Amino acid sequence: MNPAAGLRHRLNEAFVRWALRVRPPEAAPIVLTQNRVYVLPTRAGIAFAVALGVILLGAMNYNLSLGYALVFLLGGLGIVAILHTFRNLALLSIRPGRCDPVFAGATAQFDIVLENPRREPRTSLSLSVGGGTPIEVDVGARAGATATLGVHAERRGWLPLPRLTIETAWPLGLVRAWSYAVPDQRCLVYPQPAAKAPPLPWSGDAARGTTREGRGSDDFSGLRRHQPADPPHHIAWKAAARQENAPLLTKQFAGATAEQIWLDWDALPNVTDGERRLSILARWMLDAEAAGLAWGLRLPGQRLPPSGGAAQLAAGLRALALFEYGPG
């Protein structure tokens, strides 16, 4: 960053801190009080003012009463438009909504709740974060509305909502009123699952089908399509051999609990990159869950007992997202 750009960035951040009046993030509800709303003319507003000036000069030069009347009429209309634009934003209330967890590399969807305490509706409000594509929303009289803003999740962990810009040029587009807000809102970002990962770390007993926690070999109930996480000893090799290019099938067993496996940080000693390890563990979790397995997680200083289901998957991915590993 060159010195001039760095200076502009520091000046802009200083202005934003002054405009917000408090250091972000802000506690809800965030009310856009009158001293937080700023108004400047748009290009159309500047052209409108120049046109009024030209008409006024012509009226003064030729002493045209109708010219004076037109200037005063249009000038009054412009002043009324400024007031309406300002009121369209002033005293609006902003609350953070929900944001469901996402994987790294995806787009986090932040819900922003707008509340209008006035008896007049708010029209053509535009919300944006980080210079992204603005989202337009209307808020009814004494009602609320929700706008969803997308933020790219680059890395795992907590992703805070960037500075929110809300603006409007309603009704005539002659002036732009805007304000800043930083709601206290964040989204949990899971590690991106590895595209290619080693097979699930089956234990020796599980691989032979002799574990007491596994599916019993005497309770065969049918076949289903093979999934990558299925143990090799459950593949129906004879069924696959009967027909050329037939899909692999996996034997299903009834009357027994699901096999248990441990997903262990230390099971990947050859993977030196910590983020790569977390990506592989995330892939193993998804594969184990898809196969209906009971799985547990071991991380340095953390242990998640074996289980299955959506709650277990969410707990495991959360542990990976917030895990901090040392340089070793």
Q: Is the pLDDT of residue 134 over 50?
A: yes
pLDDT at position 211: 40
Same domain, 27 and 162: yes
Of 190, 215, 242, the domain-final residue = 190
Reduce the DSSP state of residue 183 to 3 states and report it: strand
The alpha-helical segments, DSSP class H, found in 124-216 are 204-208
More confident residue, 162 or 231: 162
Question: What proportion of the chain, given as a percentage, has pLDDT over 90?
Answer: 61
pLDDT at position 90: 95
327 located within any domain: no
Same domain, 155 and 231: no
Asked whether the beta carbons of 209 and 47 are under 8 A apart, the reply is no
| 134 Cβ contact partners less than 8 Å away, ≥ 6 residues apart | 126, 127, 128
Reduce the DSSP state of residue 228 to 3 states and report it: coil
**Helices 274-290, 310-322: inter-axial angle, 10-degree rounding:** 180
Instruction: Report pLDDT digits (tens) over 90-113.
Output: 999 999 999 999 999 999 999 999
Mean pLDDT of all residues in the chain? Answer: 84
Structure tokens that stand for 312 in this block:
């277990």
Which residue in this structure is represented by tokens 């109708």?
66
Same domain, 74 and 175: yes
Same domain, 55 and 178: yes
Calculate the CA 3 to chain-centre distance. Answer: 33
pLDDT at position 165: 93
Same domain, 110 and 158: yes
Element housing 315 (H / E):
helix 310-322
Same domain, 15 and 158: yes
196 located within any domain: no
Structure tokens that stand for 280 in this block:
């592989």
195 located within any domain: no
pLDDT at position 214: 41
pLDDT at position 110: 96
Residues in the chain: 328
> Nearest Cα to 97, choosing from 16, 189, 168, 30?
30
Same domain, 255 and 157: no
Instruction: Report pLDDT digits (tens) over 262-282.
Output: 999 988 888 889 999 999 999
Same domain, 21 and 120: yes
197 located within any domain: no
Which residue in this structure is represented by tokens 């809300």?
166
Residue 10 is part of which domain span? 3-190
Same domain, 215 and 92: no
Q: Which of 164-173, 200-209, 252-261 has the lowest mean pLDDT?
A: 200-209
Q: Is the pLDDT of residue 241 over 70?
A: no
198 located within any domain: no
| 281 Cβ contact partners less than 8 Å away, ≥ 6 residues apart | 191, 263, 265, 297, 320
d(CA 328, CA 326): 5
pLDDT at position 3: 74
Which residue in this structure is represented by tokens 């609320």?
144
Output the CA angle 75-79-81, nearest 5 degrees: 115
Same domain, 211 and 118: no
pLDDT at position 227: 59
Instruction: Report pLDDT digits (tens) over 145-180.
Output: 999 999 999 999 999 999 999 999 999 999 999 999
38 located within any domain: yes
Same domain, 179 and 213: no
Of 2-6, 225-229, 310-314, where does the model show the most confidence?
310-314
Asked whether the beta carbons of 179 and 88 are under 8 A apart, the reply is no
User: Into how many domains does the chain fold?
Assistant: 2
Output the CA angle 139-141-147, nearest 5 degrees: 15
Of 137, 163, 190, the domain-final residue = 190
Question: What CATH code is carried by the domain that includes residue 23?
Answer: 2.60.40.3770
Q: Is the pLDDT of residue 233 over 90?
A: no
d(CA 196, CA 279): 10
> Taking residues 287-313, what's their average pLDDT?
92
Confidence band for 210, pLDDT divided at 50, 70 and 90: very low
For 119, which DSSP code?
S
Q: Is the pLDDT of residue 87 over 70?
A: yes
Same domain, 53 and 163: yes
> Taking residues 79-89, what's their average pLDDT?
96
Cα atoms found within 13 Å of the Cα of residue 249, Cβ hemisphere only: 16
Structure tokens that stand for 243 in this block:
């027909």
d(CA 234, CA 251): 5
Confidence band for 213, pLDDT divided at 50, 70 and 90: very low
107 located within any domain: yes
328 located within any domain: no
The predicted model scores a pTM of 0.77
Confidence band for 7, pLDDT divided at 50, 70 and 90: confident
pLDDT at position 207: 38
> Taking residues 231-252, what's their average pLDDT?
60
Cα atoms found within 13 Å of the Cα of residue 285, Cβ hemisphere only: 31
More confident residue, 15 or 135: 135
